[in-house]
Structure 1
Amino acid sequence: MSKEKALVVCPGRGTYGASELGYLARHHAGSALLAAFDRQRNERAAQSISELDCAARFSTALHGSGANASPLIYAAGILDYLALDTGKVEVVAICGNSMGWYTALACAGAVSPEHGFAIADGMGVNSGTGEPGGQLLLTLVGDDWRPDPALRREIDRKLARSGAFRSIELGGMLLVAGEERELDALLAALPAMPGRPPLRLAGHGPFHTALMAESSRRALAQLPAAWFGAPRVPLIDGEGRVWRAKATTPEAMHRYTFTTQILEPYDFTRSLAVGIKEFAPDRIVLLGPGDTMGGAIGQVLVAEKWLGIFDKAGFAARQAEAPFVIAMGREDQRARVTRG
């Protein structure tokens, strides 16, 4: 049986919710690496990842805070990656969304799993230490997932006038960020949207904008370039650049991770488009926790008309017949790419 080529996607914030409570215990109980992550947390008197994962009930204030959400998501992602059956899949490239970049670094071997955890854990605290502002989620596609270029041009004009920033390109969704008055001004000026109403994201700062300058400075000071090396697997960043083993310096990757990646928009849409066009994978594997990014991935495939997928119905039909996107957070799909 020949291996299938896989493009791996590492999810970002917002993917560990009530349905994911206990994810690490279900899939990675007894992991020595998880125990190492717990020790890192205990050394700074923070509640362990295992304790958070095994809580009696999900709490948005507790599990959704940056200080806890980031390490929970990172731990689920890297442990899922290490559970891939290398006899079934050959990982040809890796990308991530927003904080998923930290998971992608470790999956690709650019940092060790332990240093990756320290980065995700540290940045979860760092990015929530008081930078003013937040994020707003705009859904720019309707039920068919087809992009509307005219609407996007209008949104871009309103965004420029409001003073808010483009933050994350996420398939048919756009996250914008800014100070509260700027987000209020944008909300007041927005046209009718084809998807769900604009959503303020609780607990999110003005990520991927110049407002995070202090966070960038702290990261550069606290998280050393010595942790970084060349990736063993091609790594696609938030600008669509491919980092390869023989064309990467630790200093450049450190600088990108803690300056550009923090201060400039994160274009997951472009990253994924580069991944499918450059590496032509047989499958996209979405690491856990959860599968909420499956929609964003599907929307990118629709925009690119990849594999003849022109709308949401076409994506759903393809997934039902022979899934192109395998979400490890789904029990019915996980077994396709894991051992056992």
Structure 2
Amino acid sequence: MNQNQINAHKPKQRVLVVAPGRGCYNKDELGYLQRNHADKQEFIAHIDAYRHKQNQMSIAALDSETKYSFKQHTSGENASALIYACSMSDFIDIDCEKYEIVAVTGNSMGWYIALAMAGALDPDGAIQVINTMGSMMANGLIGGQLIYPEMDELWRLDNVKIQHIDSLVEQINNEEDCQLYTSIFLGGYRVLAGNEAGLKRAESLFPNIDDRYPMRLYNHGAFHSPLMADISARGKAALTAELFQHPKIPMIDGEGRIWTQYSTDTNKLHEYTLGHQVLAPYDFTKAIAVGIKEFAPDKVIVLGPGNTLGGPMAQSIINTQGYGWTNKTDFINTQEKTPKLLAMGHQVQRKIVSQHS
């Protein structure tokens, strides 16, 4: 019996697949498509044909630049399509002889990628939605974001820190001309969105942690906040409900809601994606908790590029005590013996997941 026959008799491992959001294609990821996806020329060309019509630089050219440019590679109109190409290419590479994909989700922009993974957007619809929403602030950002920890040193949510963040947000919003909102619940972190006045007050009031936090996120707008009202309206006008289809794989959104092939109302999916999802906090922590509790995956696969979502993923699982993890030490010990969290942006873990390994 050869290895393929042996593998065919093994039961498939159930996996939850998670797509990253903005900010995961950094200096080390330059060339990600060239290194890992030279066989995806047709898929990449499809994306670039759409971008060519919009007079935008091709993602193939962006990925093959000799030097990483913060301004060029992190701008919304470039980063969104580039990250989508990397993540979706990774998704295509998952070894489906070995893994059964039981559900998909994503962080922030990763929701759009999850729609593509599940088939709720076909390839034409996916690049149209992702590129359109990513390009909405090409002429100037609306507000911004910063990130701040709300966990202890063992990666457990800290209620004292959570209450302090909430009280400071309330205080800042009561000050003249200041707006500050929770944007993303990200494992052990809170991402806050606001106008410039609100963000500056946060930077002055939030206690400094490790000379790193509060950390402003470069080239990010005030995503998932009321400041995006115009973006939401423009998105709905540009992207019709007809683009959306019933998913082939269950999807978990930023409220922890499950969308299935049988229960999905595509009009409501369109409204959520371009309405509530744009304007209200994205609860990634809850999405992961639902994924772990409702689908009981044997493993969680995080798509690339990069591995910036690894920590927040582990923290989200710890928060729900999935895999018996109650703290950072539990996570590290498990990962060293029998990894439950596999990041395709990590070359060693990629080999475990990919059909090309």
Check whether TM > 0.5: yes
C-alpha spacing 1:309/1:266, structure 2 compared with 1 (3 Å): same
Aligned to 1:227: 243
Match of 1:245, SS state, is coil
Cα distance in structure 2, aligned partners of 1:7 and 1:222: 31
Aligned to 1:24: 33
Aligned to 2:177: none
Q: CA RMSD in A?
A: 1.4
Cα distance in structure 2, aligned partners of 1:192 and 1:53: 35
Deviations 1:78-124 (A, max 9, x none): 11111111101000010000000110000011011232122111111
What percent of counterpart residues are identical? Answer: 42
Which of 81, 91, 95 is 2:101 aligned to? 91
Aligned to 1:178: 194
Deviations 1:124-167 (A, max 9, x none): 11144445311011022243212211111111111112121000
Aligned-pair CA distance for 1:304 = 1.9
C-alpha spacing 1:77/1:87, structure 2 compared with 1 (3 Å): same
Aligned to 1:152: 162
Deviations 1:166-191 (A, max 9, x none): 00010001100111111222233224
Aligned-pair CA distance for 1:195 = 8.8
Query: How do 1:289-308 and structure 2 match up within 5 A?
Result: 289-308=305-324
Cα distance in structure 2, aligned partners of 1:186 and 1:290: 28
Contact 2:151 2:161 in 1 (8 A): no
Query: How do 1:252-267 and structure 2 match up within 5 A?
Result: 252-267=268-283
Aligned-pair CA distance for 1:223 = 1.1
> Which amino acid in the other structure matches residue 70 of structure 2?
T
Contact 1:20 1:290 in 2 (8 A): yes
Match of 2:315, SS state, is helix
Contact 1:139 1:195 in 2 (8 A): no
Contact 2:87 2:113 in 1 (8 A): yes
Tell me the TM-score normalised to structure 1 length.
0.97
Cα distance in structure 2, aligned partners of 1:54 and 1:168: 31
Contact 2:225 2:280 in 1 (8 A): yes
Match of 2:146, SS state, is strand
> Which amino acid in the other structure matches residue 23 of structure 2?
G
Aligned to 2:326: 310
Match of 1:135, SS state, is strand
* Length, aligned pairs only: 340
Larger displacement relative to structure 2 (34-43 or 141-150) = 141-150
Query: How do 1:106-117 and structure 2 match up within 5 A?
Result: 106-117=116-127
Cα distance in structure 2, aligned partners of 1:131 and 1:330: 31
Match of 1:262, SS state, is helix
Which of 307, 319, 330 is 2:335 aligned to? 319
Cα distance in structure 1, aligned partners of 2:172 and 2:272: 28
1:236 aligns with 2:252: yes
Larger displacement relative to structure 2 (167-176 or 147-156) = 147-156
Aligned-pair CA distance for 1:194 = 7.4
Contact 2:21 2:110 in 1 (8 A): yes
Cα distance in structure 1, aligned partners of 2:205 and 2:349: 42
> Which amino acid in the other structure matches residue 119 of structure 1?
V
C-alpha spacing 1:132/1:39, structure 2 compared with 1 (3 Å): closer
Query: How do 1:183-194 and structure 2 match up within 5 A?
Result: 183-191=199-207, 193=209
Aligned to 1:217: 233
Cα distance in structure 1, aligned partners of 2:320 and 2:264: 29
Contact 2:102 2:295 in 1 (8 A): yes
Aligned to 1:54: 64
1:269 aligns with 2:279: no
> Which amino acid in the other structure matches residue 11 of structure 1?
P
Contact 1:4 1:282 in 2 (8 A): yes
Query: How do 1:199-214 and structure 2 match up within 5 A?
Result: 199-214=215-230
1:100 aligns with 2:110: yes
> Which amino acid in the other structure matches residue 162 of structure 1?
I
> Which amino acid in the other structure matches residue 118 of structure 1?
Q
Tell me the TM-score normalised to structure 2 length.
0.92
For structure 2, the residue ranges without an aligned partner over 5 or more in a row are 1-9, 174-179
Match of 2:148, SS state, is strand
C-alpha spacing 1:143/1:181, structure 2 compared with 1 (3 Å): same
> Which amino acid in the other structure matches residue 111 of structure 1?
L
Contact 1:71 1:120 in 2 (8 A): yes
Aligned to 1:11: 20
